[in-house]
Chains A and B, each alone.
Chain A
Amino acid sequence: MTYLHWRKFKNIAFHASLYLAAVIVLLPLFLIVSYVFKMGASSLNLDFFLAFPKPVGEVGGGMRHAITGTLYLVAIASIISIPTGLLCGIYLSEFGKGKVATLLKFSIDMLTGVPSIIIGIFAYILIVVPLKGFSAMAGGVALSIIILPIVCRSTEEILKLIPQHIREAGLALGLPRWRVILNIVVKGNLSSLITGVMLAISRAAGETAPLLFTSFGNMYLSYRIDEPMASLPVQIYNYAISPFDDWRRQAWAGAFVLITIVLGINLLSRLLVKLGSLRHLIRRGIK
Chain B
Amino acid sequence: MSSNIILQVNNLNVWYEDFHAVKGISVGYPEKSISAIIGPSGCGKSTFLRCLNRIYEEVPGAKATGEIILEGKNVLDKSVDPVELRKRIGMVFQKPNPFPAMSILDNVTIGLRLQGIKDKSYLMNVAEQCLRKAALWSEVKDKLHKLGTSLSGGQQQRLCIARALAVNPQVLLMDEPTSALDPIASAKIEDLMSELKKEFTVIVVTHNMQQAARIADYTSFFVLGDLIEHGLSSDIFTNPKEQKTEDYITGRFG
A175 near B95: Cβ-Cβ < 8 Å: no
A61 to chain B, nearest CB (A): 48
Would you give the shortest CB distance from B249 to chain A, in whole angstroms?
Answer: 29
Contact B55 A171 (CB under 8 A): yes
Complex contact A173–B146 (CB within 8 A): no
Measured between alpha carbons, how far is A188 from B252 in the docked complex, in Å?
46
- Whether the pair B110, A171 counts as a contact (CB closer than 8 A) is no
A residues less than 8 Å from B94 (CB atoms)? 165
Contact status of A287 and B114, CB under 8 A, knowing A176-B83, A189-B101:
no
Stretch from A80-88, A112-120, A255-263, A276-284 contacting the other chain:
A276-284
Do A169 and B99 touch (CB < 8 A)? yes
Of B85, B101, B111, which one neighbours A187 at CB under 8 angstroms? B101
- Residues on B with C-beta less than 8 A from A28 are none
Total A-B Cβ pairs within 8 A: 85
Structural contact, B83 and A175, CB atoms closer than 8 A: yes
**Pairs across A and B, CB under 8 Å, 6 listed:** A165-B93, A166-B99, A166-B100, A170-B99, A172-B90, A179-B114
Segment at the interface with A among B7-15, B160-168, B201-209:
B160-168
- Asked whether any CB of chain B lies closer than 8 Å to the CB of A184, the reply is yes
Q: Please name all residues of chain B whose beta carbon is closer than 8 Å to the beta carbon of A187 when the two chains form the complex.
A: 101
Chain B nearest CB, measured from A169 CB (Å): 5
A238 interface residue (CB < 8 Å to B): no
Q: Does B250 contact A (CB under 8 A)?
A: no
Q: What is the size category of the interface that chain A forms with chain B?
A: 20 to 34
Report A158-187 CB contacts with B as 1/0, cut-off 8 Å: 000011111111111111100100011001
Given contacts A172-B91, A179-B114, A283-B145, contact A188 B55 (CB under 8 A): no
Contact of A284 (CB < 8 Å), options: B93, B101, B146: B146
Residues of A with C-beta under 8 A to B60:
97
Q: Among B55, B95, B101, find the residue whose CB has the most chain A CB atoms closer than 10 A.
A: B101
Measured in the bound complex, the distance between the Cα atoms of B101 and A189 in whole Å is: 7
**Which of chain B's residues has its CB closest to A175's CB?**
B114
Contacts of B99 in A (CB 8 A): 166, 169-170, 184, 188
Contact B83 A169 (CB under 8 A): no
Cβ-based interface call for B87 (8 A): yes
Q: Is A190 an interface position by the 8 A CB rule?
A: yes
Interface residues on B, range: 20 to 34
Answer yes or no: B147 CB below 8 A from chain A CBs.
yes
The answer to whether B111 and A188 have CB atoms under 8 Å apart is no
Contact status B87-A280, CB under 8 Å: no
Closest to A191 in B: B101
Q: Which of B97-120 contact A (CB under 8 A)?
A: 97, 99-103, 110-111, 114-115
- Least distance between A149 CB and chain B CB atoms (Å): 26
Report whether B84 and A174 are in contact in the complex, using a CB–CB cutoff of 8 Å: yes
Distance between A26 CB and nearest chain B CB, rounded to angstroms: 32
A163 surroundings in chain B (CB, below 8 A):
95, 97
- Known A168-B93, A169-B93; contact A280-B103, beta-carbon cutoff 8 A: yes
Q: CB distance A184 to B110 under 8 Å?
A: yes
User: What 0/1 readout, one digit per residue, does chain B (134-178) give for beta carbons within 8 Å of chain A?
Assistant: 000000000101110000000000001001100100000000000
Name the CB-closest residue of A to B103.
A280
Interface centre among B95, B97, B110, B167 (most CB of A within 10 A): B97
Complex: chain B residue closest to A170, CB-CB: B99
Contact B114 A188 (CB under 8 A): no
Say whether B86 contacts A172, CB under 8 Å.
Answer: yes
- Most chain B Cβ neighbours within 10 Å, of A172, A190, A280, A283: A172
